[in-house]
Amino acid sequence: MVNETRLILVLGDQLSPGLSALQAGDPARDVVVMAEVSAEATYVPHHPKKIAFLFAAMRKFAERLRSDGWQVDYTELDDSENAQSIPGELLRRAAQHGAKQIIATEPGEWRLISALQEMPLPVQIQPDTRFLASHARFEDWAEGRKQLRMEYFYREMRRETGLLMAGDKPEGGKWNYDHDNRKPAPGEIGRAGPMQFTPDALVEDVLALVEARFEEHFGTLRPFWYATDAAQAEAALEDFLTNALPLFGDYQDAMTSEHRFLYHAVIGQYLNAGLLDPLDVCQRAEAAYRAGHAPLNAVEGFIRQIIGWREFMRGIYFLGGPDYASRNGLGHSRDLPAFYWTGQTKMRCMAHAIDQTRDEAYAHHIQRLMVTGNFALLAGIAPQQVAAWYLAVYADAYEWVEAPNVIGMSQFADGGMVGSKPYVSSGNYIAKMSDYCKGCSYDVKAKTGETACPFNVLYWQFLIRHREAFEKNPRMAQMYRTWDRMQEDRQTQVLQDAETFLARMEGGEAV
């Protein structure tokens, strides 16, 4: 029949009123299906803060849809009839309503796309129009290119959106002001952190549920201060634009043990769940520059993260296909050390990054890339184990953005699809950009010996382990020349110290 009921699936990261599945539906005949299911909360042990954020935001979004005239069948996690999986809930609701068709917006993870495609009912999968670049748009850009580099894709996004453009030229004469955005933290940080929200009754109910069901998951649930609806997310964005954006650029790469957030926006979880619109966010940041409120280096750096890296990562994920996340181009196979889950390590930088992650379900991009990611790459950790950890512990992590950032950018396991070289460094970079090395059990200035910073000896061991792959890379050749000028006995000592450290780590010793 023409007017038969259809189901409209809305996932936990699709909390946008303009969602394509909703646009394709009809409130007069269709039923929206939303469900909190254990399969989605536990396929990796997601951080309790992430679970609570999504469940609370989903419940509030369901209320918004009802007020907009939709019938919403919402299943809470502890509902006795809950099938505990997205396909199971769809089949249960289809049987209730006699629905023979499902409309969904494309999920951001291949496993869910496959699950929908394998449903016994026809599923009409709509493109996710909340992104600037469609799959076809990214494929067109990528076709025929020997290397896929974010910078050139980003320039096209700038041209197409008009963001920070002066006619057909970039504002200020340069596309990228990253060189101006590498200052270590200042002596005083004039911001306490992102805007925080006191949980209301609905959020408190969710927190109690998460405490009861996911107590064993890595991560601290309380205090819980996230925005859980679009209005709160908008307020958090406005607070960042007013109070932090002017200094965001200068200090976006800095790390400090006293201030976890510095001048970062901490809106990734809101963008990726659909509470904020990425283009609107960028336009408002540009308006702050045009009004003289924030400098160009800050606004350009912020916009680049959203229309550059965020869009590029999604493009890479879908271009790479369902097997992208399983790539292991460097053949790394060492198990993820237990201290990634406990924070119990003598490396002060690692301990701080992991402790912050445990408490906040957040760490900024340099902590992820150049501390926890850098160590995993240097130590030869299996990239799939590293990726599973990142997917589990961060509130903004979904595989479409997490896999290319970890498999590609952080672990260089995709063979250079994302990056032109591995992001590896010795302890010197961390010492330059943070105060983590002060008071550490290891000496960042020591190059060999028991007290030498593990990043120092592992850095050289990584380069030698993969010399055949990287010594002809023009961005790495200088480091191999530096190694070749070392005395042979020092080379031997460095490699021995690296092996000793790794053996102790694998043996379960406190390192």
CA distances from 381 to 68, 172, 211, 390, 442 (A): 49, 42, 31, 13, 21
Residue type, position 325, single letter:
A
**pLDDT at position 180, please?**
87
Which one is the CATH code of 7-126: 2.40.70.10, 1.20.1050.10, 3.30.460.10, 3.40.50.620?
3.40.50.620
Tokens, residue 377:
């790459």
DSSP 407: I
| Residue that is written with structure tokens 């949980």 in the block | 199
Task: Compute the distance between CA of residue 225 and CA of residue 194 in angstroms, rounded to an integer.
Answer: 10
- pLDDT, residue 336, reads 98
CB-based burial label for 179 (10 Å; 0-12, 13-18, 19+): exposed
Torsion angle of the four alpha carbons 297, 303, 307, 312, in this order, in degrees rounded to the nearest 10: 50
The CATH architecture of the domain made up of 339-506 is Orthogonal Bundle (1.10)
C-alpha distances out from residue 193 to 89, 190, 236, 239, 357, Å: 39, 9, 10, 10, 15
Q: Where are the domains of the chain?
A: 7-126, 135-194+244-316, 339-506
**pLDDT per position in the chain (511 positions), as tens?**
467 999 999 999 999 999 999 999 999 999 999 999 999 999 999 999 999 999 999 999 999 999 999 999 999 999 999 999 999 999 999 999 999 999 999 999 999 999 999 999 999 999 999 999 999 999 999 999 988 999 999 999 999 999 999 999 999 999 999 988 889 999 889 899 999 999 999 999 999 999 999 999 999 999 999 999 999 999 999 999 999 999 999 999 999 999 999 999 999 999 999 999 999 999 999 999 999 999 999 999 999 999 999 999 999 999 999 999 999 999 999 999 999 999 999 999 999 999 999 999 999 999 999 999 999 999 999 999 999 999 999 999 999 999 999 999 999 999 999 989 999 999 999 999 999 999 999 999 999 999 999 999 999 999 999 999 999 999 999 999 999 999 999 999 999 999 999 999 999 999 9
Confidence at residue 187, expressed as pLDDT on a 0 to 100 scale: 85
User: Is it true that 135-194+244-316 and 339-506 share their CATH fold?
Assistant: no
- Residue in this structure with the two tokens 């002017």, named with its chain if needed: 246
For residue 83, which amino acid is it?
A
Question: Between β-strands 165-166 and 169-170, what pairing exists: parallel, antiparallel or unpaired?
Answer: antiparallel
Q: Is the peptide bond before 223 cis (omega within 30 degrees of 0)?
A: yes
| Beta carbons within 10 angstroms of residue 487's beta carbon | 8
398: Cβ–Cβ under 8 A, 6 or more apart, which residues?
Answer: 13, 108, 109, 272, 391
Give the orientation angle of helix 278-290 with respect to helix 230-243, to 10 degrees: 30
| Residues contacting residue 384 through CB under 8 Å, at least 6 positions apart | 325, 326, 328
The CATH class for the domain spanning 135-194+244-316 reads mainly alpha
CB–CB of 156/141 below 8 Å? yes
Give CA–CA dist 360/53, Å, rounded: 12
Residues 6+ apart with CB under 8 A from 506: 334, 335
Which one-letter DSSP state was computed for residue 508?
T
